[in-house]
Amino acid sequence: MQKISSCVRELRFSVIREMSMRAAQYDDAITLGIGEPDMHTPQHICQAAYQDACAGHTHYAPSKGDPELLQALATSLQTRNNPGGVENLLITHGAMHGLAAAMRTLLEVGDEVLLPAPHFPDYVPHVRLAGGRPIDVPLDFDSGFVPRAKDIEPHITERTRILVLNSPNNPTGAVIPGDALDELAELAKARDLVVISDEVYDRILFDGEYQSIITRPGMAERTLVMNSFSKAYAMTGWRVGYVLGPTWIVEQMLKVVNYTLASVNTLGQRAALAALQGDVAPFQDMATEFAHRSAYVYERLIEMPGIRVHKPGGSFYLFPSVAALEADGERFANQLLEEEHVVVIPGFSFGAGAESCVRLACTVDMQRLEEAMDRLERFVHRLHGKQRGMLPEDG
């Protein structure tokens, strides 16, 4: 008899991938759907990985990670005020695997995980696959989608174990300000929660210094930072991430890494080491390019009738509300794809409360971004015109 577990059967395939596949039928499609840098990994990293392959770095690595990479990471994190050393680090197969391993390590069946929404869709399957219950905490458009302690607190029950934070945020681009981090840290301590702080966009920050909740008093004992080389170093395909956290969690998580992977692929780790040790200029240029593109898209969107949007503080996403034009972001996204061949991702896929928003990723070059904005503007004007036509005073 063939049988698939109900937990897996009930997961849905990624809406982001579905939309991108549908776009493939149009030759002139522009996709603002995919959340990955369009730049290739810089050459010096590829060269270093090649040389390391030739030099024999072709064996399993230790489950905890390549010792040189761990040491280089510890040094680089300390320069950014992060607590801890090698004993607090674990290399993972992207932040994705860090999330999966963390949930498996921390959750009993039925434990609850708070997900301020909109959120990265994949948190939900990670929690479910570990037997936990994902609980969306809907945030307000008007508050800029910034999670505050007062939003979180009413959702805490005796089963709540984890609060997930993500700053800069996918899909909103929001950055959690320092005073909100202070409040959230106090709440986590008072209610004995572990915070999973997803910081994969920390180096794509448009203003100021990055602030992590792990640096708040007492938080190093209960915060697991998820990070990776994917976004900041244009290394999505190498699949190297890491976790920074207290030893009471990291030492147990090591068992999950050991039994799920043996080790993260050795060459990917050597490439990550080269990224840490080499010239930082290409990564700074990438972050500057994302800031430039995001500012351009923001300026275009605020000029479009019926669109409301917040200026992103980091990442490469914008998350406008199209409610004044079309309450259903999915219908908006589908129509935009059919009529103008531009892919955006409907808000419902990012959790409760975001149904009339859509996500735009600035992951195409400026020329295509300009063309995409022209097409979007045309589409929005058409929708707006239709709507005005329906108003009685317009006859």
Does the protein bind ligand PMP through residue 71 (CB under 6 A)?
no
Q: Which position among 121, 125, 241, 246 is part of the footprint of ligand PMP (CB under 6 A)?
A: 241
Q: Which position among 94, 116, 320, 353 is part of the footprint of ligand PMP (CB under 6 A)?
A: 94
Minimum gap (Å) between residue 231 Cβ and ligand PMP: 7
Residue 181 to residue 202: CA distance in whole angstroms:
15
Total binding residues toward ligand PMP, as defined by CB under 6 A: 13
Q: Please choose, out of 53-61, 92-100, 157-165, 250-258, the segment that lies near ligand PMP by the rule CB under 6 A.
A: 92-100
**Two tokens at 217?**
């008093």
Q: Do 128 and 7 contact (CB within 8 A), yes or no?
A: yes
- Residue 336: which of 31, 59, 86, 36 has the closest Cα? 31
Distances in Å between the Cα of 91 and the Cα atoms of 81, 269, 359 are 20, 8, 30
Minimum gap (Å) between residue 228 Cβ and ligand PMP: 3
Q: Which position among 105, 170, 263, 356 is part of the footprint of ligand PMP (CB under 6 A)?
A: 170
Question: DSSP secondary structure string, 123-160?
Answer: HHHHHHHTT-EEEEEE--TTTTT---HHHHGGG--TTE
**Two tokens at 180?**
């909100």
Does the protein bind ligand PMP through residue 197 (CB under 6 A)?
no
- Residue 162: which of 94, 118, 218, 99 has the closest Cα? 99
Minimum gap (Å) between residue 247 Cβ and ligand PMP: 23
Does the protein bind ligand PMP through residue 198 (CB under 6 A)?
yes
Distances in Å between the Cα of 130 and the Cα atoms of 98, 101, 114, 120 are 13, 9, 14, 17
Q: Which is nearer to ligand PMP, 166 or 304 (CB)?
A: 166
Does the protein bind ligand PMP through residue 320 (CB under 6 A)?
no
Q: Please choose, out of 22-30, 228-236, 272-280, 381-389, the segment that lies near ligand PMP by the rule CB under 6 A.
A: 228-236
Q: Which position among 197, 211, 223, 230 is part of the footprint of ligand PMP (CB under 6 A)?
A: 230
**Two tokens at 185?**
């840290």
- Closest CB to ligand PMP: residue number: 94
Binding site for ligand PMP (CB under 6 A): 35, 94-96, 120, 166, 170, 198, 200, 228, 230, 236, 241
